């Protein structure tokens, strides 16, 4: 593979480069102290927000706001994309210092686990996941755009519509890859700790009480890191999930309309369906991978807790004190269960996908019925 990151610093380079070249805060990493600092605000931030905002007004200028279902949904779709992108840019700058602290926590956790595992594990095994995710997120809008430009352009002003729509994908992709980087990094650290504990369990090695406390300390460090990632990103993830819900529903609606009302032109209907499928792949991949990674991290945390309990049985020390340790540890895991949510009301696991599918289906039924009524009255 052409990209084989040997450590967390090399794995973070593509994400940091994306932030730098899209006008987002630039992070400076001290590889000796693993301290991350931010650079002064870039003027590209203002340029980016102005360009993103102009997309919405360019569309209104060329197409206006008609009193039809499709026109209103399209306007709301543009407003949704604008809200998500501007929200991400503003959040990145308003919380850049906290993001730097989060980067620092990630590097420190990586260093601590490397010391404990006594091996120089690399990130090459998850780098291809990042490459695959980037390929899907870039190729999906490109595929949709090529098909769109080839078959769906009817008049010159349609080019303005496509520019406004597809330029909004830039920060959508950057935000998705940033989330993917954080979650895969945390998952990787959990995996390395899990491998070390499984090795100790299989060998049935006796551990001292100090070694056991070190294991628990590292486990708590990872739990704190995972919770910090969730807390720092939940504001943006909430906006993203709500917008994605609307985008999925509107894309399915346009695809359904193309199938129903463009059946006389098979090529146009197929082109519309292909373009919308590209958008659907981009959005659904984002939702599924985010919830899946949060779910897997929760499972890894529970498995690691069970491994620590098993290792505690091999502690060569007083049985009474060991019993108290196990009791306190189990109580702590039960009370402070690692659970990812968006502000406490929306769980970040696979149930979000099921709820979104049910909600989108209901929403689509309403839109199709309203569209049929509007179409028959014309």
Check residue 320 and give its pLDDT: 47
Mean pLDDT of 202-212: 72
Statement: residue 17 has pLDDT above 80: yes
Tokens of 355: 């709820």
Q: How confident is residue 181, by pLDDT bands cut at 50, 70 and 90? A: very high
DSSP character for 339?
-
Mean pLDDT across 128-141? 84
pTM score, whole prediction? 0.84
What are 283-330's pLDDT values in tens digits? 777 888 888 899 999 889 888 888 887 777 766 554 445 556 666 666
Q: Which distant-in-sequence residues (6+ apart) come within 8 Å of 202 by Cβ?
A: none
Greater pLDDT, 106 or 57:
106
Higher pLDDT, 153 or 193: 193
Structure tokens that stand for 248 in this block: 């999925």
Write out pLDDT tens, residues 265-294: 666 666 666 666 666 767 777 888 888 899
Most confident residue range from 134-138, 199-203, 204-208: 134-138
Rounded to the nearest integer, the mean pLDDT of the chain is: 76
Q: Are 5 and 127 in contact (CB under 8 A)?
A: yes
Q: Is the pLDDT of residue 231 over 80?
A: yes
130 within 8 A of 180, measured Cβ to Cβ:
yes
d(CA 363, CA 21): 38
Confidence at 376, pLDDT banded by 50, 70, 90: low
Q: Going by C-beta distance under 8 Å and a sequence separation of 6 or more, which residues neighbour residue 38?
A: 25, 26, 27, 28, 96, 97, 99, 100
Measured CA distances, 223 to 193, 301, 340 (Å): 12, 7, 11
């Amino acid at each position: 593979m052409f990209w084989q990151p040997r450590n967390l610093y090399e794995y973070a380079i593509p994400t940091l480069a994306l932030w730098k070249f899209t006008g987002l805060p630039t992070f400076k990493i001290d590889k000796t102290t693993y301290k991350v600092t931010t650079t002064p605000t870039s003027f590209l931030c203002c340029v980016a927000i102005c360009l993103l905002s102009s997309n919405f007004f360019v569309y209104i200028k060329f197409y206006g706001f008609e009193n039809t279902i499709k026109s209103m949904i399209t306007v709301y779709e543009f407003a949704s994309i604008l809200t998500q992108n501007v929200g991400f840019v503003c959040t990145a700058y308003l919380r850049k210092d906290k993001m730097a602290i989060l980067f620092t926590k990630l590097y420190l956790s990586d260093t601590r686990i490397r010391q404990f595992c006594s091996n120089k594990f690399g990130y090459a095994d998850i780098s291809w996941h990042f490459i695959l995710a980037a390929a899907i997120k870039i190729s999906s809008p490109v595929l949709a755009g090529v098909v769109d430009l080839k078959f769906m352009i009817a008049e010159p002003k349609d080019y303005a519509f496509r520019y406004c729509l597809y330029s909004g994908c830039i920060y959508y992709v950057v935000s998705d890859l940033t989330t993917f980087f954080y979650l895969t990094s945390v998952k990787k650290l959990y995996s390395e700790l899990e491998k070390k504990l499984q090795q100790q369990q299989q060998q049935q090695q006796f551990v001292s009480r100090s070694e056991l406390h070190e294991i628990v300390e590292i486990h708590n460090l990872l739990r704190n890191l995972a919770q910090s990632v969730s807390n720092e990103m939940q504001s943006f993830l909430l906006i993203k999930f709500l917008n994605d819900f609307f985008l999925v529903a509107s894309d399915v609606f346009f695809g359904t309309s193309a199938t129903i009302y463009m059946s006389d032109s098979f090529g146009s209907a197929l082109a519309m369906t292909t373009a919308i499928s590209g958008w659907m792949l981009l959005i659904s991949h984002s939702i599924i991978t985010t919830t899946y990674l949060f779910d897997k991290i929760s499972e890894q945390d529970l498995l690691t807790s069970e491994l620590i309990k098993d290792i505690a049985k091999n502690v060569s020390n007083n049985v009474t004190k060991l019993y108290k340790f196990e009791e306190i540890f189990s109580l702590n895991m039960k009370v402070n269960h690692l659970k990812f949510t968006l502000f406490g009301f929306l769980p970040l696991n696979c149930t979000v996908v099921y709820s979104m599918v049910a909600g989108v289906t209901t929403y689509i039924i309403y839109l199709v019925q309203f569209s049929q009524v509007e179409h028959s009255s014309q």
